[in-house]
Amino acid sequence: MTSFPDRYTFHSGSPQRSGSGSNTFQSIDPSTAQPTCTIHASSPQDIDAAISSAAAAFPSWSSTPPIERSRVLLRAVALLRARNDELARVETLDTGKPFSETSTVDVVTGADVLEYYANLIASGGLNGESFRLRDSAWVYTAKEALGVCAGIGAWNYPIQIALWKSAPCLAAGNAMVYKPSEVTPLHAQFLAEIYREAGLPDGVFNVVYGAGDVGAYLTKHEIVQKVSFTGQVSTGKKVAGSAAGEMKYVTMELGGKSPVIVLDDCKVENAVDGAMMANFFSTGQVCTNGTRVFVPRSMKASFEKTLLKKMEYIRVGDLAGENTNFGPLVSKAHYEKVKSYVQHGIDKDKATLIKGGVGKPANLPSQYANGYWLEPTVFTDCKDNMKIVQEEIFGPVMTILYYDTVDEAVKRANKTELGLAAGVFGKDISKCHDVIRRLQAGITWVNTWGESPAEMSVGGWKLSGVGVENGRKGLENWVQNKSTLVEMGGEVPTVFAKLEKESKL
């Protein structure tokens, strides 16, 4: 059993052992249900101290030239890459995702985003614009840092989420107080230590621990200028509501119930590969998952046959093993929630279950008997009004919906309050583009699913979010604009000049 030293609020460059609150909670390895670390929840005084440490560090960090900030962040990138496997093992322990995934995706895509923003600010990404308004006047603009910002993370991609928030935040010259999910807190101190080792001044990146009350306190704090939140729509509404009341900037990366549309000219192998990536990667715990799979009715037999065949390639096993590609759900509470959705699908929605259910996967190694493992599950012949089709389950549960015309599929795909992601699979690329154009979602794919490179801005439409992360647009969400008009005519324009008749007096 792996275990780590206790974790304490991290601010002013180190874990604050003495000041930290006395309430503790455990981080649990979801594959075995064994505790791995004791975390000391941050008290209001701890959170105040972390915010003060960020506020004290902000003036100097925000006035450091971007190219110097960039050098610090690039050193952190090198450390992240050098420690990729060590950090990936931590993520596997905390989230239950197989090492084959955490070692190739989680740390890698986090480091990529940090590198992207470090390079962007070193090459003029924070430059404003200037233009001649008239012969005697110019306007110039500056992108100014916001101040102390809060980052609040979900549990499914812990270190990646921490990096996707802190990278543009710090690159833009802000300081951050970050709260990981209480379910997956381990990565946070490792990241804080890497930033420190890279030369980030003390106080620029700080960590507080705890549940929703810690997040809520952080969100409402008067010194915090911006909240970047990743999590459920219901929590996001609360956080955005409280932040808006204080005129704080927000970025909201929330949930989805995204559609996959398979067109009738698509090779069935491709359609199934796409649908499986959109449902079973990370055991279905991906915000952009395409859990409503629309398939032409004419393809039903071949799609289901190929899907059932390919589901044999979902491999549970030793999470450190290179061939294992499926892990447990992240926590007991989440396991119970996903199981209850599957049960609802069977009992109440009366959807046709063709694979999986509420049991543990077959061939589960004995050391994982107590872990939160659930079989990958497929319901077919689903109807739009079923609860399992309408609500985000956030587990390995695919629902297949058959359609007769593409127009009908697009209409049904859009009939949701959510708009995070969408995708289409087909051979005729013009048809694919036409379908994508009509789908209401912020992140869309054609003939692939899930790739989210640093250069590509991502964010949801409708209730799935506000603002974007990554890409050039992602940096804009961490600065405020200042416009300056300079008059060079030699006289100050005024309406309070003396009238001619007044001069004669």
3-state secondary structure of 152: strand
CB-facing half-sphere around the CA of 81: CA atoms within 13 A: 12
Please state the closest distance from residue 308 (CB atom) to ligand NDP, in A: 27
Among 49, 167, 175, 239, binds ligand NDP (CB under 6 A): 239
Please state the closest distance from residue 275 (CB atom) to ligand NDP, in A: 18
Choose the stretch contacting ligand NDP; rule: CB under 6 A; options: 213-221, 359-367, 404-412, 497-505: 213-221
| Tokens read off for 247 | 């005129």
Phi, psi of 281 (to 5 degrees): -60, 140
Q: Give the neighbor-by-neighbor strand order of the sheet with 421-425.
A: 352-355, 377-380, 397-403, 292-296, 259-262, 421-425, 443-446
Among 28, 54, 254, 271, binds ligand NDP (CB under 6 A): 254
Choose the stretch contacting ligand NDP; rule: CB under 6 A; options: 68-76, 254-262, 305-313, 484-492: 254-262
Choose the stretch contacting ligand NDP; rule: CB under 6 A; options: 15-23, 61-69, 175-183, 357-365: 175-183
**Interface pattern 286-315 for ligand NDP (x via CB under 6 A):** -x----------------------------
Q: Does the protein bind ligand NDP through residue 160 (CB under 6 A)?
A: no
Among 42, 156, 166, 325, binds ligand NDP (CB under 6 A): 156
| 74 close to 115: Cβ distance less than 8 angstroms | yes
Q: Does the protein bind ligand NDP through residue 152 (CB under 6 A)?
A: yes
Give the CA-trace dihedral at 105, 108, 114, 117, to 10 degrees: -70
Q: Does the protein bind ligand NDP through residue 230 (CB under 6 A)?
A: yes
Task: Name the β-bridge partners of 398.
Answer: 378
Among 238, 315, 332, 344, binds ligand NDP (CB under 6 A): 238
How many whole angstroms separate alpha carbon 464 and alpha carbon 457?
15
CB nearer to ligand NDP: pick between 111 and 458: 458
CB nearer to ligand NDP: pick between 230 and 306: 230
How many whole angstroms separate alpha carbon 214 and alpha carbon 211?
6
Q: Say whether 253 is catalytic.
A: yes
Shortest CA distance to 98 belongs to which of 302, 295, 280, 318?
318
Please state the closest distance from residue 132 (CB atom) to ligand NDP, in A: 41
Please state the closest distance from residue 243 (CB atom) to ligand NDP, in A: 9
How many whole angstroms separate alpha carbon 116 and alpha carbon 198?
17
Among 38, 232, 352, 447, binds ligand NDP (CB under 6 A): 232
For the chain, give percent helix, strand, coil, nearest 5.
40, 20, 40
Q: Does the protein bind ligand NDP through residue 338 (CB under 6 A)?
A: no
Among 96, 168, 203, 215, binds ligand NDP (CB under 6 A): 215
> Considering 115, 182, 253, 392, which one is annotated as catalytic?
253
Q: Does the protein bind ligand NDP through residue 110 (CB under 6 A)?
A: no
Helix (H) or strand (E) segment spanning residue 40: strand 34-40
What part of residues 381-420 is at the interface with ligand NDP (CB under 6 A)?
392, 394, 420
CB-facing half-sphere around the CA of 495: CA atoms within 13 A: 0
| Tokens read off for 284 | 């279905």
Q: Residues, the chain, total?
A: 505
Shortest CA distance to 187 belongs to which of 284, 89, 109?
89
Taking phi over 0 as left and psi of -120 to 50 as alpha, with beta for the rest, 213 belongs to alpha
Among 51, 54, 154, 263, binds ligand NDP (CB under 6 A): 154
Active site residues: 253
Binding site for ligand NDP (CB under 6 A): 152-156, 179, 181-183, 211-212, 215-216, 219, 230-232, 235, 238-239, 253-256, 287, 392, 394, 420, 460, 465
